[in-house]
Chain A
C-alpha cells in the first residue's frame, strides 16, 4: 500500500507533525508548569521569569503545608463524601432509566420517555431550582450537592444504547426460561454493560469532583464547602493559603496554590489511563439520537 513519498507528501507531513507537536506542547506545558511549580520555592518561581522547565531548589514544603491546612483537608473530605453518597445513586438511577428506555412493549413507554427527555430541553432555571432546594429543606446540607444532580438524562441515554447493544436473543432466552425482569437485569444486562458503567462512573465522578457552582449557591457554611470552592477562593479571589500559618510561610504561598491544584487533580489523573480506551464508546453512543 505504501508507495514512495513525493515532495508534496513530505511537506504536508512536516506541517501536520509540527502543528500537532506545537498543540501537544501548548496543552502539556501549563500542566507541567503547575507540577514543577508545586515543588519549587516561591523565590525560584519569581526568579525564573515565568518559564519554568524543571523544579528549582526541589522541596515538598508546599505539600506539607497544604496537608496541614485545616480548611483544605476538610473540604477534600467533603468532596469525597459527595462522591461516596452520589455515585451509587447516580449509577442506580441511570441504569434503571436506561433499562426502561431500552425495553420495548410497554403501553406507557412513549409517554414516560417523553417525560424523561423533556428535561433535557427545558429546565426551571437558576432561581426556581434554588427555591426548590430551600423548599425541600436541603439548603446548606451535603444532600443539596447530591440529590439535584442525581441522574443525567444524557448519561441514561448512553446506558440505554449500551443495553440495546446486547443481542436480544440472550435476553429472550432468559425470559423463556422464566427469568423475571430483575433477574435479567442482574444476571445478563449488568455484567455485559460493565465497560459502559465504568465510563459513566468516570463521567459522574469527574463532574462531582470538579463541581463548584451548586455548592456556591446551596452551601452557606465554609466548613461544608467542597474542595473546588476553597480552591476558587484561593486561585480566583487570591486568598492566601499561608494566612493560617503566619507570615514566615509567605514564600510558599504560590507553591501551595499549585500543590493544592496537583492534589485535587491527581485522583482524576489516576483513573484516566484505565478508562481512556472506553472513551470513544461513551462519546459515540451518547451522540446517537435518543
Chain B
C-alpha cells in the first residue's frame, strides 16, 4: 500500500501535471461518464417529468421487449450483413490499393493518385450521400450509364437489392485512399534488402508481392482487423440515416438507426437506451474476443 507521505510527495512533485489533467477529467465526467450513468434508464420506465431518481424500475423488461420486437431479427440481421460485407469488401480495398501503389515507380503518378484518392475523406457525409442520391435518381448519372448500355431507368435508392452495393461502393470511394495511408507507411519500413535477395533468387514481382510485401503488412492488417471487429455493430449510422428510406428499411434498417427512430422520433427513451446498451455490450464482447484470438495466433494484441 502507498503511504500517505508518498502520496503527498507525489502530489507535490507532480502538482502541475495533476492540475493540468483536471479540465480533461471534468470534460470526461460531464460528457462521457454522466451519460454512462444515464444508461440505467434502460432498466426503468423513464419519464422525463420524474427523472432518473423517481422513474419506476422494470428490470430487464425493455430488453425482453426488444428480443420480442417484430423488427428484432431484421435490424440484427441487417447490422451483421452490412458489417460483414464491409469487412469483406471495404476492409481489403485499401490493402489492395497500397500494394498497387507500391509497385508504381513513377513518383509523380503515385503522388497524383494519392492526392486524388485521399480527397474524398474530407468531403462531408451529407455531400457524399447527396451526390449518391443525385446520381441514383432515375435521371441521374448512373441511370444514364445504365440506359446507355440498354438497361432500364429506375430510382436505385428505393430498390432493396441495390442498397448494399450503393452503400459499399460509396464507402470505398470515400475512404479507400485515406485508409491506404497506414499500409503505405508500413510498406515504406519493409527492408529493401529482402527484395534484392528475392530478385537474385529469381522471384518475379508477383512472388515478391506475395512473399515479402504481404507478410510485411500482416501485423498492421491484423491490428486494424481487430479494431474493425471490435466495432462490428458500428455500421455507418449517419450514412444509413442519409441513404435509407421506408422502401429500403427491410435491408437497411440497422440497430443504431432503430435506436435513433425509437428514441428520437417515438421518444421511447428507455427502450431505445436498452437497445443501445445491447449494441455496446455485443461490441465489447467482439473486441475482447478478437483481441484474444489475435494473441493466440501470435500476433500482437491491442491491449
Contacts and interface: CB of A to CB of B under 8 A. Distances in A.
Interface string A83-109: 000000000110011011001011110
Contact of B141 (A31, A33, A284): A33
A18 to B, nearest CB: 10
A4 to B, nearest CB: 13
B63 interface: no
Contact of B21 (A13, A97, A185, A268): A97
A131 B127 CA distance: 29
A232 interface: yes
Contacts of B25: 112, 115
B24 A9 contact: no
Given A119-B32, A128-B41, A236-B133, A283 B181 contact: yes
B6 A130 contact: no
A50 B136 CA distance: 11
A176 interface: no
A209 B2 contact: no
A126 B272 contact: yes
Interface stretch (A54-62, A65-73, A144-152, A242-250): A144-152
A125 interface: yes
Given A28-B116, A236-B126, A132 B144 contact: no
Contact of A27 (B13, B30, B120): B120
Interface string B129-164: 111011100011101110000000000000000000
Interface in A237-290: 257, 261, 264-265, 268-269, 272, 276, 279-280, 283-284, 287, 289
Interface in A187-234: 206, 209-210, 212-213, 217, 228-229, 231-232, 234
Contacts of B37: 124, 128
A27 B41 contact: no
A250 to B, nearest CB: 16
B165 interface: no
B139 to A, nearest CB: 8
Given A20-B100, A125-B39, A212-B125, A116 B181 contact: no
Contact of B34 (A26, A132, A229): A132
B1 to A, nearest CB: 12
A217 B264 contact: yes
B169 to A, nearest CB: 10
Contact of B35 (A124, A210, A234, A284): A124
Range class of the A interface residue count: 35 or more
Contact of B287 (A107, A121, A284): A121
A213 B238 contact: yes
A17 B108 CA distance: 13
Consensus secondary structure, chain A interface:
helix
A212 B129 CA distance: 12
A30 interface: yes
B197 interface: no
Nearest to A228: B126
B31 A150 contact: yes
A50 B2 CA distance: 72
Nearest to A184: B16
A132 B126 contact: no
B31 A23 contact: no
B23 interface: yes
A231 B24 contact: no
Contacts of B145: 50
B191 interface: no
A182 B16 contact: yes
Contact of A103 (B17, B104, B279): B17
Contacts of B198: none
A129 B131 contact: no
Contacts of A97: 21, 24
A53 interface: no
Nearest to B144: A50
B122 A206 contact: yes
A131 B38 contact: yes
Interface in A116-170: 116, 119, 121-132, 135-136, 147-148, 150-151, 156
Contacts of B223: 287, 289
Contacts of A177: none
Interface string A17-45: 10110011011101101100000000000
Contacts of A276: 115, 118
A209 B124 contact: yes
B218 interface: no
Contact of A126 (B7, B134, B263): B263
B39 A128 contact: yes
B24 to A, nearest CB: 4
B130 A235 contact: yes
11 contacts: A16-B103, A24-B113, A106-B18, A122-B36, A127-B272, A132-B38, A151-B24, A261-B131, A280-B181, A284-B181, A289-B303
8 A-B pairs with the lowest CB-CB distances in the bound complex, closest first: A124-B35, A235-B130, A50-B144, A128-B38, A125-B276, A181-B16, A210-B124, A128-B35
Given A107-B7, A287-B224, 18 more contacts: A19-B100, A23-B97, A27-B120, A97-B24, A100-B17, A100-B20, A107-B2, A116-B24, A121-B284, A122-B284, A126-B256, A126-B259, A131-B269, A151-B24, A181-B15, A210-B126, A235-B129, A261-B130
